[in-house]
Chains A and B, each alone.
Chain A
């Protein structure tokens, strides 16, 4: 389903952009911001503009500095374990219409997800700016753990804001961050979830901007964050493109990724934006179903608005108040989305579709049983989408085995074992784990 271009004031000019692209027009890669079509920008308090200017300036200089490029390359190779593998999922493929499915294994990175790419880059930028302290928001704890990791590695003080409700559900990730030397501050304001953790991190940043860098975890927020976070994740798409050409001898027919804020997705999409033969799909969290109101399908059902510094699609009510999102996957449970995704949706370059909790969990179990890989529940949304895309490709063309679908397996599922065990009713009713699972906690 390609979303209708409603409520997009510049839909006309965006359509011109995609027409131009399809006719060999300007590249969609390396979009610098601050605007992506009518999205992006800086909807921020004046107090923070100087810090955003400093970050942008530092980032632009770093990109042009061979020493910085070499530092990133070294950390990626010798600390994160890049390049991550590209694995063909041969038994899983049978369930996706028989097309060939390849997994980009971001789950094999140090700390277990793509998040490490961004935090290492931003922590290095913080050092270049002479900042001694980083702050971060986290939902499930993945970005918080990654930030604490980078801070430990580079000798920075780290404070992580986490919704009080999320702290309770993810007690072990709180312990991980504390083991790594970070301070975790539970946020009791508002809905006590990820968006409120971002609000609290922004309040901290305003008060401590002199020595503090806000290490934002996704490709959203005020300029330069969307372009900057994408830059550090572009390695996913660059590697995947080279690997698929090497292993399959050609580009994939489709690329699939899950979307919360959209950082893993923009990272892999970026490698293929200028390849018109490659269809690109982003899978949002459909929660209980998009007709239930309990979901996080921001692009599918949201309307453009401003939140956390950028104009983008947004789950909001008629008064412009942010609506709480719902998903079994904490990493996708965010009512906003990165502005570049909103633009790519409007121009029709990327198709965004919802995947329900139930569809994601079926794909989660399927990958466990067919490939021996336990995916993050976030990534399971991309897998469920890949099954649909594979079946559609097979229906278009009888020779399914000639089709290729590339999936970004953005993280591993160790953190999700208790949730999954509860979902599939695998626990003895009297076990301690069952008690924990009932409260939605994760081991």
Chain B
């Protein structure tokens, strides 16, 4: 792919969200950290996510200093690193899932591992593996010049985060820089299951829409089908992370399949 074609029309994330929208529902997005408990398990669990109703999949790169992650994801990624996970294996995971499913597969990564490999090289390999793009929890558009260029060159989605604390000006700037969708952080905090979804989430989605976002997905603290149902009322996609990580930790791939199936019921009109 090159930067000269109409990139919006080639956004894999946008296509996956639009397909769900055409079915009259929000998209379900599931997160798994690569290499936990093994690379093979991540691929199998990713396939199980897609086969049981996830429209998009986020694969996280384990990192030594995950400042936006709570205890469950920290423990998982620390274990993956201790077992020798290396960053290039994320491309095996992405290719392993995209070769078997139609789900859009994004990589979620802290930025230093991308810088170390080289932003262009990382992007090229992600594109070759069939990846849809990157979600970047510690990269804001202000620092993303290299990534803007590489993502255009390789036709990758740029999913930046917006938060309850984002000013209207920053909302606009972040929405403008994003492609595929905008990731709305539901709460001021880090990843981890919570008993209820913050009311701030709805306001963040509304603010992102006012700023021009076409697709806004909500993450952080979403762990049950009833959370999914609640968020699907106002967002274009619902992101579940920690609950899936706990599932693979405690029950392996089968537990991921079962939880995904359950979460997906939150999007079924007849049950609502």
Partner of B87, one of A47, A305, A320: A320
Contact A207 to B188, CB < 8 A, known contacts A44-B140, A46-B160 = yes
Mark contacts of B99-138 with chain A using CB atoms, 8 A cut-off: 1 yes-contact digit, 0 otherwise: 0000000000001111111000000000000000000011
Instruction: Name which of B21-29, B61-69, B244-252 contacts chain A.
Output: B61-69
Is A71 at the interface (CB under 8 A from chain B)? no
Q: Is the CB of B74 within 8 A of A189?
A: yes
Q: Is the CB of A42 within 8 A of B87?
A: no
Q: Compute how far the CA of A306 lies from the CA of B111 in the bound complex, rounded to whole angstroms.
A: 7
Partner of A320, one of B114, B162, B163: B114
Q: Is the CB of A46 within 8 A of B140?
A: yes
Q: Which of B67, B112, B140, B164 neighbours the largest number of chain A CB atoms within 10 Å of its CB?
A: B67
Say how far B184's CB is from chain A's closest CB, in angstroms.
10
Q: Is the CB of B143 within 8 A of A46?
A: no
Q: Compute how far the CA of A423 lies from the CA of B156 in the bound complex, rounded to whole angstroms.
A: 56
Partner of B142, one of A42, A306, A318: A42
Q: Is the CB of A203 within 8 A of B113?
A: no
Q: Which B residues lie within 8 Å of A318 (CB)?
A: 116
Is A316 at the interface (CB under 8 A from chain B)? yes
Q: Which of A51, A189, A203, A305 neighbours the largest number of chain B CB atoms within 10 Å of its CB?
A: A203
Q: Is the CB of A319 within 8 A of B165?
A: no
Q: Is the CB of A305 within 8 A of B112?
A: yes
Closest-by-CB residue of B relative to A318 is B116
Q: Is the CB of B86 within 8 A of A319?
A: yes
Q: Is the CB of A45 within 8 A of B143?
A: no
Q: Compute how far the CA of A189 lies from the CA of B115 in the bound complex, rounded to whole angstroms.
A: 24
Q: Which B residues lie within 8 Å of A41 (CB)?
A: 142-143
Mark contacts of A209-230 with chain B using CB atoms, 8 A cut-off: 1 yes-contact digit, 0 otherwise: 1100000000000000000000
- Can you add 4 more A-B contacts, CB < 8 Å, to A46-B174, A49-B140, A203-B68? A43-B138, A47-B165, A308-B65, A320-B117
Give residues of chain A (289-311) contacting chain B, Cβ–Cβ below 8 Å.
303, 305-308
Q: Compute how far the CA of A209 lies from the CA of B189 in the bound complex, rounded to whole angstroms.
A: 9
Q: Which B residues lie within 8 Å of A202 (CB)?
A: 67
Q: Is the CB of A49 within 8 A of B165?
A: yes
Can you list the 10 inter-chain pairs with the closest CB atoms, starting with the nearest?
A: A320-B116, A320-B113, A50-B165, A47-B163, A207-B189, A320-B112, A321-B64, A322-B64, A319-B87, A202-B67
Give residues of chain B (69-84) contacting chain A, Cβ–Cβ below 8 Å.
70-71, 74, 78, 81
Q: Contact residues of B with A, CB < 8 Å?
A: 63-68, 70-71, 74, 78, 81, 86-87, 111-117, 137-140, 142-143, 160-167, 170, 174, 185, 188-190
Is A199 at the interface (CB under 8 A from chain B)? yes
Is A172 at the interface (CB under 8 A from chain B)? no
Q: Which B residues lie within 8 Å of A24 (CB)?
A: none
Q: Which A residues lie within 8 Å of B78 (CB)?
A: 189-190
Partner of A305, one of B115, B166, B189: B115
Say how far A317's CB is from chain B's closest CB, in angstroms.
8
Give residues of chain A (32-61) contacting chain B, Cβ–Cβ below 8 Å.
41-51, 53
Q: Which A residues lie within 8 Å of B165 (CB)?
A: 46-51, 209
Q: Which A residues lie within 8 Å of B67 (CB)?
A: 45, 199, 202-203, 206, 308
Contact A322 to B87, CB < 8 A, known contacts A46-B170, A50-B167 = no
Q: Is the CB of A321 within 8 A of B140?
A: no
- The interface size of chain A toward B, counting residues with CB under 8 Å, comes to 36
Q: Which B residues lie within 8 Å of A195 (CB)?
A: 65
Contact A316 to B166, CB < 8 A, known contacts A43-B139, A190-B65 = no
Q: Is the CB of B64 within 8 A of A190?
A: yes
Say how far B87's CB is from chain A's closest CB, in angstroms.
4
Q: Is the CB of A316 within 8 A of B160?
A: no
Q: Compute how far the CA of A49 lies from the CA of B81 in the bound complex, rounded to whole angstroms.
A: 29
Q: Compute how far the CA of A32 lies from the CA of B127 in the bound complex, rounded to whole angstroms.
A: 39
Say how far B90's CB is from chain A's closest CB, in angstroms.
10
- Residue pairs across A and B with Cβ atoms less than 8 A apart, 28 shown, are A42-B142, A43-B138, A43-B140, A46-B166, A46-B170, A47-B165, A47-B188, A49-B170, A50-B165, A50-B166, A50-B167, A196-B65, A199-B65, A199-B66, A203-B68, A206-B190, A207-B189, A305-B116, A307-B65, A316-B116, A318-B116, A319-B87, A319-B116, A320-B63, A320-B112, A320-B115, A321-B81, A321-B113
Say how far A218's CB is from chain B's closest CB, in angstroms.
16
Say how far B4's CB is from chain A's closest CB, in angstroms.
26
Q: Which A residues lie within 8 Å of B68 (CB)?
A: 45, 47, 203, 206
Q: Compute how far the CA of A189 lies from the CA of B87 in the bound complex, rounded to whole angstroms.
A: 21
Q: Compute how far the CA of A306 lies from the CA of B137 in the bound complex, rounded to whole angstroms.
A: 13
Q: Which B residues lie within 8 Å of A53 (CB)?
A: 167
Q: Compute how far the CA of A45 lies from the CA of B138 in the bound complex, rounded to whole angstroms.
A: 4
Closest-by-CB residue of B relative to A319 is B87
Say how far A429's CB is from chain B's closest CB, in angstroms.
37
Q: Compute how far the CA of A48 lies from the CA of B189 in the bound complex, rounded to whole angstroms.
A: 10
Partner of B140, one of A42, A51, A190, A322: A42
Closest-by-CB residue of A relative to B69 is A203
Q: Which B residues lie within 8 Å of A319 (CB)?
A: 86-87, 113, 116-117
Q: Which A residues lie within 8 Å of B66 (CB)?
A: 199
Q: Which of A48, A208, A305, A320 neighbours the largest number of chain B CB atoms within 10 Å of its CB?
A: A320
